[in-house]
Structure 1
Amino acid sequence: MARLNLLEETRYEKLPVTVYPNPIEASIAVAARIAKLIRDKQAKGQNAVLGLATGVTPISVYAELVRLHREEALSFKNVITFNLDEYYPMQPAAAQSYVRFMNEQLFDHIDIDRANIHIPDGTLTQEDIVAFCVSYEKRIEELGGLDLQILGIGRTGHIGFNEPGSAPNSGTRLVTLDDMTRADAARDFGGKQNVPAKAITMGIGTIFKAREIILMAWNSKKAPIVKKAVEGELSAEVPATYLQLSDNVEFILDEPAASQLTRFKTPWLVKDCVWDNELKKKAVIWLAEHVGTPILKLVADDYNNHGMAQLAVDQGLVYNINIDIFNQIQHTITGWPGGKPGADDTQRPERASPEKKRSIIFSPHPDDDVISMGGTFMRLVDQGHDVHVAYQTSGNTAVWDDDVLRYVEFAIDFEQKMGGDATRLKSIYADMRAFIPQKLPNQPDTPEIRDVKGFIRKTEALAGARFAGLADHHIHFMALPFYETGKVKKNPVSDEDIKLTMQLLQQVKPQQVFAAGDFADPHGTHIVCFNIIVEALRRLRQTEEWVKDCWLWMYRGAWFEFETHEIEMAVPLSPDEVLRKRYAIFKHQSQKDPAVFPGEDQREFWQRAEDRNRDTAERYDRLGFAEYAAMEAFKRYYF
């Protein structure tokens, strides 16, 4: 019976899918399978032939394999590896090289024979590439094929660098990279203009010959393409759909990456559900959006015709269900994000008491506060709360080099105008002028350039926070150590990051904490900063009484908004407040026209923020609620 239930639940899925709570658990499971394969082959005196992937997705798998080697004596002496791809052209010592990646993440830490490592050669002349690719294929065949191929998936649906349009029988070859793929790699190269236009990749046909294929995907950013690959029709436009034809493939996902699959997004379409309140709210909102009807106008036929008959049968009149969900959503809307003084707060998202709260807004980068919740920020200040803002990182990698020169030129002129000696500044300026034209993509800046970039972001943050109404002593610059590497790649979080956060929290003793809960942030900084805050609060809760009365609200950044059913506090903004928020964002001039790292979305951050806030208000409007110009959304986190 359990097997039949599982088949029913996964009937939209055209290949096997296993879902883990998080990437770490999933990676440990994948590493265990690789280790078992290696050991089984060792016991038979055979080689294990592995196809390996690069990128963020497999890093934790490789880390676990290194741990198994060091702590559990897993040997790689019998392992032969073939990597999927390499940028072309690419020098092996370059920071973005997959040769360097594999050495740093795996090969330098295990006992593999270097002669058994095969990675496409990004240094070849174009005339030599065809022969190399034929030889690469031939060597795999001579070894009896790949025992196991590890894959990630790109947002274009590419596997390896087999972009849309790739043939299912394609072999190893030189390909042209899709524009989206290059945009996704832009941060690693210091801008899309520096990303190679081509790559050498194993073909889909080569991958297909592996005796076992594991495709891994983490985080909600991958959820839309995972759904297409798992549930969509075969299409050259989504090369990963070809894996549906394999009998030896398995997708291994974390929960966010699986979130768009039917069994998770709309489980009522595939199985009988246990209708707790959260699922009921999610289903009713989905139904209203799906049929294009306000919640209070939904009727029994809407429920019956869209997989929700069980809910109607279990809980009675659908109109009563509609009213219940309508009231719950209505109670998320508040013009008082710090709580309304003297009001009954039983149906409000925030407590009425204390009437004046100490609030601290944590901003991972120096502009996330105003981009993400600038309207609420100013509303809290206007309503008399004791508001602080804490900029967790300097953001010093996201400033153009020519801005540095412009500011130093200003400083030299100002020093001379004031009658000072600008000799030292001129020397530093000359060094900058010499360094910048020769700087390689993502090469760390000199300390002086990093300082100036940090100063630029700091003064902009000061201007934005002052515009929101804060006094300077309520504006905190944390410069958390994990970030201050001068490189795109940051250090691991240390105890010092947590202790600095604890000290600020102890100083403010807030009743409200606002933090970026934007875990799909493509730069990865948001989730790191969020986890630091949560750990700091957890430690403080063990010894400090005030923490028990501290609520943690998550906001979203410039990329995604919460789903409507997730929102627990929605703060409406008037047209004037939208304009005030825009002006606060404009204080961050270095992040405009355009930002250094805009991602694939070419809109400026103020445009993204306004479009997102307008969309949230329109979603509420379509569900039957009052029509607002914009809304900022929040979800409470229980630590």
Structure 2
Amino acid sequence: MKSIFETNSSLKKHRRTFRKAKDDFEHSQLTREEHIPLDIYEYEEEGCKVVAEEIADLIREKQQKGEMCVLGLATGNSPRGVYKELVRLHKEDNLSFSNVITFNLDEYYPMEKTSVNSYNHYMNELLFDHVDIKPENIYVPDGSVARDKIKEYCNAYEKKIDEVGGIDLQLLGIGRTGHIGFNEPGSYMNSYTRIIALDDITIDDAVKDFGSLSEVPKGAITMGVGSIFKAQKIILLAWGSNKAEIIKKAVEGKITDDVPASFLQQHKNVKFVVDIYAAGELTRVKYPWKVASCDWTPNLILRAITDLCMKTNKPILKLTDKDYSDHGLGELLVVYKSAYDVNIRVFNILQHTITGWPGGKPNADDTNRPERKEPEQKRVIVFSPHPDDDVISMGGTLKRLVDQKHDVHVAYQVSGNIAVADYEVLRYLSFFKRFFEEEYNGEGAVHENYNRIKAFLKKDKDEREMALPEILKAKTLIRQEEAKSACRYVGVPKNKLHFLNLPFYETGQVKKNPLTQVDIDIIKELLREVKPHQIYAAGDLMDPHGTHKVCLEALFLALDQIKKDGDDWLDDCWVWLYRGAWQEWAVDEIEMAVPLSPDELRQKRNAILRHQSQMEAAPFMGGDSRLFWQRAEDRNRDTAMQYNKLGLAEYEAIEAFVRYIP
């Protein structure tokens, strides 16, 4: 089947829609639903460079005038790229920070300055240690202040900002609660530097940095909304689809303390800088027909009609001309003459996405099928970022590929060892200690090492210099054996499993190393060994610890390099992206839908349950309290329900994929 997205992947469709809109229509018309100026960039790196250059220009302008430049700085993931670029400008373009004074927005409480999780440590590591800023010009809230001195300290922090003339430019991120700084929902417009209790969602999001929920501080010292508003200019950064919903609320919603970032609508000089994913829920990106005339591409029509079905609670083939006119889609009636013509086109597109043959159906007409029929038996690699993403996200499809006699390989990109709790290690070691004691009437090295590891794990985490290598090895083996068990259950043989253990991940800590060519070469070696006809990979970029994003980037870079090298097998290789653990593809994005029967859904659950260490004790569950098997089933059932509401066949569950073309 020819992709309705032609030569581009679904990952790029929002980018394409935005570019077309930007070229064709007046900006003011497109942004009429937005109450805050907002710049959209295709890539986070591009946006960070533009913001860093703006900061650099301000610093240089102040230098020429002989003035100090006062910057308000943020932490978290959003400004990392800005700080990286500022360091580059300092080292390569002689940007001096000698006239810069900085005030950081916030700090966890309680928090020692020397802790690796402190914002002092964050700022030193990412910026201050690499530029020529004077230490006496750096101000970061002190999370170790005695409780009875906090109010006095906060007042002094606020006063110091005023004494230096206020902040010239304030950098902000935004939390999923809509917080700016740590001003959680309920914060007042006239709030100033103070201590605040963190929202449960904010605490859940912080687990990725601290390793476990119990380690996350429950409070913070933060500049208030009023403190932020005193800045001459404010730039808020947001990257990734997990910020899309809150960006829409802050930019297009009403001003409310339920979304503290919405207060920024009242600031005289503010702008948001986001990537296309963070902008994904904005009207001009998701529903451009509501703000301007559109170039009605097939996927834009598909999105509009599926949205219309949900609003009217009608299946596709029951939509009428009046439904179109009443919901701002009358333009389609002019282009296609009647609702019926559009309905049939959209129904057929969706109907053709459904297949019970994810590897292609032999001896069948594949004109309207998502996958080609040849070769009949395909070599397949399923890339799984962690050792359980394969069965969580596409366990039913994985088993279907095996049952339909394809040569299926599974490649686990990272070990996932930091997601294994310490007590799991002790449980396994205790078993082996007892086994050897009772079976061989002795203690020996097993007993000695068990006691040593047990003593180490009893230490407070702050007392541990580094994780013992044998503990990391044990955690790696636990996850590998669980993955082997799950694959045995769905029929993938042991010799088709590949544990890549990409080096970027193997730090033994929550913080990972940057992706390097070494990681990419490991993937390239496997690809060239197998020469797959199909690749499945995780396009689920909302995982709270970012590993999925890095793993996908590594695969894409490997494919790009192989393509440049001229490997001809890649011409016959199709790449399918799955989701499932953290989010699901929208119906209008899906290019292959694999239906699952009740029995197949139960078998998928059983495969997921083989990963016992990743049940409710897993430290990276994120803001979703459901267990992974529950999330997977709910999302698969929801996709099937949406297909049924649109007037297509009723299935128990559906696993969904979009095609990526390297």
TM tier, smaller: over 0.9
Deviation at 1:540, TM superposition (A): 2.1
- Asked whether 1:455 is paired with 2:477, we answer yes
Structure 2 equivalent of residue 202 of structure 1: 223
For residue 576 of structure 2, the aligned residue among 527, 533, 553 is 553
- Asked whether 1:483 is paired with 2:512, we answer no
* Separation in structure 1 between the aligned mates of residue 442 and residue 482 of structure 2, nearest angstrom: 27
Corresponding residue SS for 1:237: coil
* Separation in structure 2 between the aligned mates of residue 318 and residue 10 of structure 1, nearest angstrom: 28
* Structure 2 residue identity aligned to 1:514: Y
- Compare 468-477 and 109-118 and name the one that shifted more: 468-477
- Asked whether 1:8 is paired with 2:29, we answer yes
Q: Is contact 1:594-1:604 (8 Å) kept? A: no
Unaligned regions of 5+ residues in structure 1, if any? Answer: none
Q: Is contact 1:136-1:172 (8 Å) kept? A: yes
Q: Deviations over 1:132-172 (max 9, x none)?
A: 11111111111111100000001111100111111101111
Deviation at 1:416, TM superposition (A): 3.6
Deviation at 1:214, TM superposition (A): 0.4
Structure 2 equivalent of residue 387 of structure 1: 408
**Identity across aligned pairs (percent)?**
54
For residue 113 of structure 2, the aligned residue among 77, 80, 92 is 92
Residues 1:91 and 1:502: Cα distance change in structure 2 (over 3 Å): same
* Structure 2 residue identity aligned to 1:487: Q
- Asked whether 1:375 is paired with 2:360, we answer no
Structure 2 equivalent of residue 472 of structure 1: 494
- Asked whether 1:612 is paired with 2:644, we answer no
* Separation in structure 1 between the aligned mates of residue 577 and residue 24 of structure 2, nearest angstrom: 39
Normalising by structure 2, we get a TM-score of 0.95
- Asked whether 1:598 is paired with 2:621, we answer yes
* Structure 2 residue identity aligned to 1:473: N
* Separation in structure 2 between the aligned mates of residue 381 and residue 417 of structure 1, nearest angstrom: 41
Residues 1:571 and 1:275: Cα distance change in structure 2 (over 3 Å): same
Corresponding residue SS for 1:431: helix
* Separation in structure 1 between the aligned mates of residue 439 and residue 496 of structure 2, nearest angstrom: 31
Deviation at 1:78, TM superposition (A): 0.3
Q: How does 1:147-546 map to 2 (within 5 A)?
A: 147-419=168-440, 422-440=443-461, 444-541=466-563, 542-546=565-569
Unaligned regions of 5+ residues in structure 2, if any? Answer: 1-21
Structure 2 equivalent of residue 584 of structure 1: 607
Corresponding residue SS for 1:594: coil
* Separation in structure 1 between the aligned mates of residue 656 and residue 283 of structure 2, nearest angstrom: 25
* Separation in structure 2 between the aligned mates of residue 63 and residue 512 of structure 1, nearest angstrom: 37
Corresponding residue SS for 1:164: coil
Corresponding residue SS for 1:139: helix
Q: Is contact 1:149-1:207 (8 Å) kept? A: yes
* Separation in structure 2 between the aligned mates of residue 67 and residue 494 of structure 1, nearest angstrom: 19
Deviation at 1:3, TM superposition (A): 12
* Separation in structure 2 between the aligned mates of residue 197 and residue 2 of structure 1, nearest angstrom: 47
Corresponding residue SS for 1:397: helix
Corresponding residue SS for 2:540: coil
* Separation in structure 2 between the aligned mates of residue 254 and residue 277 of structure 1, nearest angstrom: 24
Q: Is contact 1:390-1:477 (8 Å) kept? A: yes
Deviation at 1:288, TM superposition (A): 1.1
* Separation in structure 2 between the aligned mates of residue 294 and residue 51 of structure 1, nearest angstrom: 51
Deviation at 1:421, TM superposition (A): 6.1
* Separation in structure 2 between the aligned mates of residue 504 and residue 116 of structure 1, nearest angstrom: 51
Corresponding residue SS for 2:112: coil
Residues 1:443 and 1:328: Cα distance change in structure 2 (over 3 Å): farther
Q: How does 1:113-128 map to 2 (within 5 A)?
A: 113-128=134-149
Deviation at 1:2, TM superposition (A): 9.3
Deviation at 1:492, TM superposition (A): 1.1
Residues 1:429 and 1:583: Cα distance change in structure 2 (over 3 Å): same
* Separation in structure 1 between the aligned mates of residue 368 and residue 330 of structure 2, nearest angstrom: 29
* Structure 2 residue identity aligned to 1:499: D
Structure 2 equivalent of residue 46 of structure 1: 67
Normalising by structure 1, we get a TM-score of 0.98
Q: Deviations over 1:51-78 (max 9, x none)?
A: 0000010000000000000000000000
Corresponding residue SS for 1:146: coil
Q: How does 1:17-36 map to 2 (within 5 A)?
A: 17-36=38-57
* Structure 2 residue identity aligned to 1:195: V
Deviation at 1:194, TM superposition (A): 1.6
Corresponding residue SS for 2:600: helix
Q: Deviations over 1:29-87 (max 9, x none)?
A: 00000000000000000000000000010000000000000000000000000000011
Q: Is contact 1:521-1:557 (8 Å) kept? A: no
Corresponding residue SS for 1:438: coil
Deviation at 1:545, TM superposition (A): 1.4
Q: Deviations over 1:367-417 (max 9, x none)?
A: 000000000000000111111111111110011111101111122233344
Backbone CA RMSD of aligned residues: 1.5
Residues 1:308 and 1:3: Cα distance change in structure 2 (over 3 Å): closer
Q: Is contact 1:428-1:448 (8 Å) kept? A: no
Structure 2 equivalent of residue 565 of structure 1: 588
* Separation in structure 1 between the aligned mates of residue 36 and residue 208 of structure 2, nearest angstrom: 33
Q: Is contact 1:333-1:569 (8 Å) kept? A: yes
Residues 1:293 and 1:444: Cα distance change in structure 2 (over 3 Å): farther
Structure 1 equivalent of residue 14 of structure 2: none
* Structure 2 residue identity aligned to 1:611: D
Deviation at 1:203, TM superposition (A): 0.7
* Separation in structure 1 between the aligned mates of residue 92 and residue 583 of structure 2, nearest angstrom: 40
* Separation in structure 1 between the aligned mates of residue 525 and residue 200 of structure 2, nearest angstrom: 45
* Structure 1 residue identity aligned to 2:532: P
* Separation in structure 1 between the aligned mates of residue 609 and residue 640 of structure 2, nearest angstrom: 23
Deviation at 1:538, TM superposition (A): 2.1
Deviation at 1:213, TM superposition (A): 0.4
* Separation in structure 2 between the aligned mates of residue 625 and residue 274 of structure 1, nearest angstrom: 27
Q: Is contact 2:543-2:622 (8 Å) kept? A: no
For residue 69 of structure 1, the aligned residue among 90, 99, 103 is 90
Q: Is contact 1:216-1:252 (8 Å) kept? A: yes
- Compare 225-234 and 524-533 and name the one that shifted more: 524-533
* Separation in structure 2 between the aligned mates of residue 637 and residue 320 of structure 1, nearest angstrom: 29
Corresponding residue SS for 2:101: strand
* Structure 1 residue identity aligned to 2:414: T
Deviation at 1:126, TM superposition (A): 1.4
Deviation at 1:444, TM superposition (A): 4.2
* Separation in structure 1 between the aligned mates of residue 581 and residue 24 of structure 2, nearest angstrom: 42
Q: Is contact 1:41-1:48 (8 Å) kept? A: yes
Q: Deviations over 1:199-231 (max 9, x none)?
A: 110010110011000011110101111100001
Task: Kindly indicate whether structure 1 or structure 2 has the higher relative contact order, using CA contacts under 8 Å at least 6 residues apart.
Answer: 2
* Separation in structure 2 between the aligned mates of residue 472 and residue 535 of structure 1, nearest angstrom: 27
Deviation at 1:436, TM superposition (A): 1.1
Residues 1:3 and 1:338: Cα distance change in structure 2 (over 3 Å): closer
Deviation at 1:420, TM superposition (A): 8.0
Q: Is contact 1:509-1:547 (8 Å) kept? A: yes
* Separation in structure 2 between the aligned mates of residue 41 and residue 374 of structure 1, nearest angstrom: 58
* Separation in structure 1 between the aligned mates of residue 260 and residue 179 of structure 2, nearest angstrom: 6
* Structure 2 residue identity aligned to 1:454: T
* Separation in structure 2 between the aligned mates of residue 568 and residue 577 of structure 1, nearest angstrom: 21
